[in-house]
Every structure is written in structure tokens, then in C-alpha cells.
Structure 1
């Protein structure tokens, strides 16, 4: 006896379709996570734009007012804030290696600046085309000697890079604590922040100074919405597949039903067969 195919939406309870629904749920969760990650990236970009707008062209502050703590720095409030420093450059130059620049990979030129009150902050005097960690070349841009006024923008001390260490006067990052150790400075050193040079008086040769950062929040919003569109597309695709299968099952079921009706009609017209009469006699 032939079993009639499934009719209606009952096929949605099969293991195959339950698996499809489970995959859709997992896919949707992943898309939501990725979409929210892009929203967070956009929020970070917009916060950076706000810092640029608020601080980049602000009036210069004193370092002690802008950075009350030697070890901590409020990046949200003070990143890009100009500060005016008076004092003198001290010690040797150091090079933060592996920095992209106008002519490829080079280094950022760093030197300690001692303020008139005896505190010390490191100044990034620009990018120079020096790569490698072997020997500091001759002819690096020399800082002014004696009393100097420096205008710089504040940046947060960079984190240490795991597995990378200082080699001579080359450092892996602009990390205030590591720079202080390499330079042999122990007290009254600003390790939470450093200054990105704008100008200095008397003027001296510098590396390539940093340019104004772009006010660009990037494509994060479109990427975030894209992940939610993927959920919609997947849902529509699954619904379309279910609809097609529904039509297929019901078309097949309707075909079987009609064949049964035709068979019953032929049987009625022929009358009862010998087997049917024997069954009737046995049942009586």
C-alpha cells in the first residue's frame, strides 16, 4: 500500500527543516554581533572626530593643567590638546621604529624635554627615514640647544608591544615608561602622555611632522546595516524555499488524491470483483 506524501506545512517539523532554522538562528546571532561591532567602531570614530573638533585648534594649556598626573592621561578629554612648554631638550635622541611615513617605513624621532620646573616629557619631533635597529645614523635632525619654547599636541603613551624590546636607542613603541627606563630617568617624568611637536623656538630642523588627522568616521554604518540586511536576505531565502516545498508537497498530495478518486470511480463502474464478493461472503 502506497503511503501518501506529506501535505500542508508538516514538512517544517522534519529534522532537515529544523536544521535549517537552527542555522538561520546561528547566522543571525553572528550577524547581529558583527553589526554591533561595526556600530561600536563607528562610535569610536565619531568620538575621535569630536576630540579633533574640540581640541586640535584649542588654545594652548600648560602641561600641568592638561595632565595633572605623571602616569595617567585622560585621552577622551585631552587628546590633541596643544600645550606650551618652556625648558630645554636633554639627553640623546631615541627612535620608535617601524613607523610608516612619506617615503616608506622609518622611525619617529623622540627626545626628552625638561621643563623649567624640573619635570620631563618626551617630544615626538617627527618622522625620519631610519629603519632597522643596528646603528643610529649620523645627521639626525638636532633639537635646539638651551632655553626653548615648544608647542606640542598631547597624545597618550602607547602600550608596550609583547615580545618586542628596546635595542640600544631604538624602541618598539612610544611608551613613556619604557622611554624613561631607556633614558635613565626615574622621577618627575610624564609617562602617561607625550607631546607631538607642532613648532619650537628657536626653530630647528625636525623630522616630517604629523599632519592634521582626517575627520572621517569610515564606512562602519554601512557595514553594520549590511549585516542586518544579510539576516533579512537569509530569512527571505528560507521562507521562499519553504513556500516552494509547500507547493511541491501539496501538488504531489493533490495528484495522489486525484489518482485515488479515479481508481475508485473505475472500480465503481466495473462493479465488485470476485475477490470483493468472496470477502463479502466471508464477512457475512
Structure 2
């Protein structure tokens, strides 16, 4: 039998680089998984706030909003009770509001409380009209003294560079709205209308209760973990294959590494069997 030279397993520097790349990839997968876990935690917290607050007993506005700029995330969707009158002439429409996949507007009406401060009430959603720049009809709020129950939401940021026609705004920027009114008003939160007394026949579409849906964050987090683990499995498989090829006679190694239409593992196994077969 002719002597055969078995090439030693070399290239530790190369495999060290592969390992470093795999570690970096696994760390990236871990960070993406952590981000998805954090997103899921935020979603779960929001679902719990809705379940805790949405159907709670209404409390006075001053109790949940002790200062004009007050806002606590734990109070989101909590109902508040207020008595006063709508400032119908100061009503505004918020543009680009989607409901059920359809574009429209939300009607904001300042509500002046008995102490003279203003609380912004979102009375509901209106579809775009024939001109698409405004609804076909904008319901008027009830006049005189009104008692409203509204669920708290945080004000929205200003959108720099965004403009809107007269009587419309691009976002629920409470600070700008109150400043334009020129009277003291709540700038930390506004209310999404739940009911008003006396009621009127024509109303915008009421707000929809948020769905208790966690979304795909959990599955995505697990997938990123799986990707990180598979990267190490793939690296180990490639290293093991390289060791098996390196154990072959030198004249068979190139053929074992060459791409074949057949499965590569089968080629390597055939080469190993051939190398151990008795010579005639």
C-alpha cells in the first residue's frame, strides 16, 4: 500500500475569524431578540392598562389631572367626569386619521369646565367627504351645560413643517391648541368621548376599544434566539466537515471540497470509505 500523507487540521486563525463572526452574529440576534421582548412587554403593559382602566368608574378630571400639564401613563384610557360647556366655534378637525382602513378626521372640541379651564375632547371619527379635504357633515356638539365622560389619552407631538387648512390640524398638539385659544387649558392629556349628557342624535363614529393583541413579538424573539443558536451549529458542522476532509489522502481532499450536484456529505463519506478500503 502506498504511503499517504494526511494533512493536519490547520487554519486555526481562519476558524478563529469564523468564530468571531459567529459570536458577533449571535450577539446581534440576542439584541434583536431582547428588543422584541421589550416591545412585547410594552404591548402587554398597554393591554393591561386597557383592561384595568377602560371600564373603570369615571373620576373627576381634577383627580387624575391635578395640574394642567399632568400626565401619567398608568392613567391612559381611564374615564374622567367633567361638567361645563363645549366651545363649538373653536372646534377643530385632525387630519389623516384612519379607521378600518379608511381615511378620515377626528373632531376635537374644547370643553370649558366650570372653573374656566379648557379640556380638549375628541368626539370621534368622521370619514372624508366628496372633496376629500373635509367631511361632508360635521356634527355640532350639544349646547349649554353638558356632562361628559371621556377616556384620557396623552397629547401628541407637534409635526414640524406640516400644515393644514383653516379649522384643521395635523396632530393633537395640545400645547398649540390651548395657546391658540388664549385661555388656561390641559396640555398633558385630552379625553376621548365615551358619553355626553344631554346627547345629540348626530354624532361622529365613537372610538373603538383597543384590541388585546400582543402581536408577533414573542415569536420573533424566539426566532432570533434560534438564529443565534443555529449559527453556532452551522459553524460546528462546517468545522467537523473540514476535519473529516483533512483526514483524507491529499489527492482526495480537493475532490471532497469541490462542489457537486450530489449531497456534499455523501461525497465525503464515500471518500472516507474509499480511503479505508483494502488495496488489491
TM-score range for the pair, normalised by the shorter chain length: 0.7 to 0.9
Residue 206 (structure 1) aligns with? 203
The count of corresponding residues between Structure 1 and Structure 2 is: 248
For residues 183 and 190 of structure 2, the distance between their equivalents in structure 1, rounded to whole angstroms, comes to 16
Listed as ranges, the gaps of 5+ residues in structure 2 are 254-280
SS in structure 1 at match of 2:103: strand
1:72 deviates by 2.8
TM-score normalised according to structure 1 size? 0.80
Residue 7 (structure 1) aligns with? 8
Residue 256 (structure 2) aligns with? none
Q: CA RMSD in A?
A: 2.4
For residues 252 and 190 of structure 2, the distance between their equivalents in structure 1, rounded to whole angstroms, comes to 81
Query: Would you say the 8 A contact 1:133–1:167 is kept in 2?
Result: no
Query: Would you say the 8 A contact 2:129–2:135 is kept in 1?
Result: no
Residue 63 (structure 2) aligns with? 65
For residues 132 and 62 of structure 1, the distance between their equivalents in structure 2, rounded to whole angstroms, comes to 40
Residue 38 (structure 2) aligns with? 40
Is residue 55 from structure 1 mapped to residue 76 from structure 2 by the alignment? no
Residue 262 (structure 1) aligns with? none
Query: Would you say the 8 A contact 2:178–2:184 is kept in 1?
Result: no
Greater displacement, 36-45 / 203-212 = 203-212
For residues 14 and 227 of structure 1, the distance between their equivalents in structure 2, rounded to whole angstroms, comes to 28
Listed as ranges, the gaps of 5+ residues in structure 1 are 257-284
Mark the CA change 1:125 to 1:19 in structure 2 (over 3 Å): closer, same or farther. Answer: same
1:130 deviates by 2.8
Query: Would you say the 8 A contact 1:39–1:221 is kept in 2?
Result: yes
Is residue 250 from structure 1 mapped to residue 251 from structure 2 by the alignment? no
For residues 79 and 165 of structure 1, the distance between their equivalents in structure 2, rounded to whole angstroms, comes to 28
1:153 deviates by 0.4
SS in structure 2 at match of 1:99: strand
For residues 14 and 179 of structure 1, the distance between their equivalents in structure 2, rounded to whole angstroms, comes to 64
1:36 deviates by 0.6
- 1:165 maps to which of 159, 163, 166: 163
Residue 182 (structure 2) aligns with? 186
- 1:87 maps to which of 74, 84, 87: 84
Query: Would you say the 8 A contact 1:98–1:131 is kept in 2?
Result: no
TM-score normalised according to structure 2 size? 0.82
